[in-house]
Amino acid sequence: MALRVDVPLFAEAAGADRTYPIIIDAEAQAEERFAAELAARAPGARVGLVTDTTVARLHLPRFSAALAARQIAVTPVVVPDGETSKSLARAEEVAEAWARGGLDRGAVAVALGGGVVGDLGGFVASIYLRGIPYVQVPTTLLAQVDSSVGGKTGVNLPSGKNLAGTFYQPLFVYADITTLQTLGARDRAAGLAEVIKHGAIADVSLLELIEGRAAAARAGDPALIAELVARSCTIKARVVAADERETSGTRALLNFGHTVGHALESASHAEPTTDPRNDPRNDPGNDQDPLRHGEAVALGMLAAARVGVALGAGDATLEARLEALFAAVGLPTDLDRRLNAEVLARVAVDKKRAHGGLGFVVVERVGSAHLERIQVAQLSDVLLGTKAR
């Protein structure tokens, strides 16, 4: 049986009582039920499909076949695998391919892939012919628990990530859990980090569930993963519904672990620093770089837990509890080895972008969080302490 989460559509987009579904399907041949859902919700529509080279090889054939079996015409566009496909140039290519394929306002866009394809496909859907309906079929755990919920679409600019985009809600989301069987262990663990984040900020029983079944979560047990996806989506949908356009601050709670996490993530992608002693990539045995987003967020959550305690507001048991859980599900815990002045300097750069204060999420006890303002200097004192001197 498929699970289902109903996500509210927003008052400005529709009637306040309207919702769209996230369907979570852990059984074989989910593509056939997906095609049936599409045919029911958009009768007679042609499909403009976006995917990437890896997902096209692994999963596109069965989805194409299922759509063809229902006489649904598909114009597929396959973009290169990876973050560089989130560009305006690639968005133009996708839109142009749909135009050449003759897709009109009656068409539906389908994004089959991870967060990159979802963000790109949703963005193009929101501007093509001033907007056509779109459907997400997320194929990474990160996309299923995080990026496919909340309606943020977008591409990167040379100046930075996600600097051009729209808020655009899908017709429905179809999470086929079986697609995750082809995902690597590190990508699965990275997705689990965002699930753990949702538990830490909003639902202690979700955290307890992963703690109790860490080995099964790590191994990708389909029934467990389906439940984690459903519960994660429920939490994210609730938070987003309270603050669709990130104006009241509620949505910022989803950034738990991301302040330091982003800095660690970009540091792990950067060229080696001039001081080799400050660079974890020079450690023998470090094969973790660059960090996956979720891995960096896991380390960022450890940092945030420590800072919360230093501010006198955080849960004193959280850092050790998260560290044990990360070790059990295959996420990194080497925060102290990675923290250095260069990483903190990257936090300061992010802070400038956020014009003024640095919003910092503090979990006061597992399942409940709030936002505090903090200075970068304060952060650096707590995190580097004696190490800085």
Give catalytic residues, as residue numbers.
Answer: 130, 152, 194, 236, 246, 251, 255, 258, 262, 293
Residues 135-174 that bind ligand NAD (CB under 6 A): 139-140, 142-143, 146-147, 150, 152, 162
Q: How far is the CB of 33 from ligand NAD (least distance, A)?
A: 17
Q: How far is the CB of 94 from ligand NAD (least distance, A)?
A: 15
Nearby residues of 149 by Cβ (< 8 Å), 6 or more positions away = 7, 22, 173, 233, 236, 237, 240
Instruction: Work out the number of other CB atoms within 10 angstroms of the CB of residue 189.
Output: 22
Stretch that binds ligand NAD, among 27-35, 50-58, 197-205, 268-276 (CB under 6 A): 50-58
126 belongs to the binding site for ligand NAD (CB under 6 A) = no
Dist. CA 50–CA 151, nearest whole Å: 17
Stretch that binds ligand NAD, among 99-107, 110-118, 319-327, 370-378 (CB under 6 A): 110-118
Which of residues 25, 31, 37, 119 is near ligand NAD by CB under 6 A? 119
Dist. CA 314–CA 305, nearest whole Å: 7
Cα distances (angstroms) measured from residue 243 to each of 8, 52, 252, 321: 12, 31, 9, 29
82 belongs to the binding site for ligand NAD (CB under 6 A) = yes
Q: Are 68 and 123 in contact (CB under 8 A)?
A: no
Q: Are 18 and 9 in contact (CB under 8 A)?
A: yes
| Contact string (CB under 6 A) for ligand NAD, positions 172-191, x = contact | -------xx-xx---x----
b vs e for 223-242, b when ≥16 Cβ sit within 10 Å of the residue's Cβ?
A: ebbbbbbbbbbbbbbebbbe
Stretch that binds ligand NAD, among 67-75, 81-89, 333-341, 347-355 (CB under 6 A): 81-89
Which of residues 26, 50, 55, 155 is near ligand NAD by CB under 6 A? 55
Dihedral angle computed from the Cα positions of residues 18, 175, 50 and 180, in that order, rounded to the nearest 10 degrees:
160
250 belongs to the binding site for ligand NAD (CB under 6 A) = no
Q: How many residues does the chain have?
A: 389
Residues of the shown chain interacting with ligand NAD in the complex, contacts defined by CB under 6 A = 52, 54-55, 58, 81-83, 86, 113-117, 119, 139-140, 142-143, 146-147, 150, 152, 162, 179-180, 182-183, 187
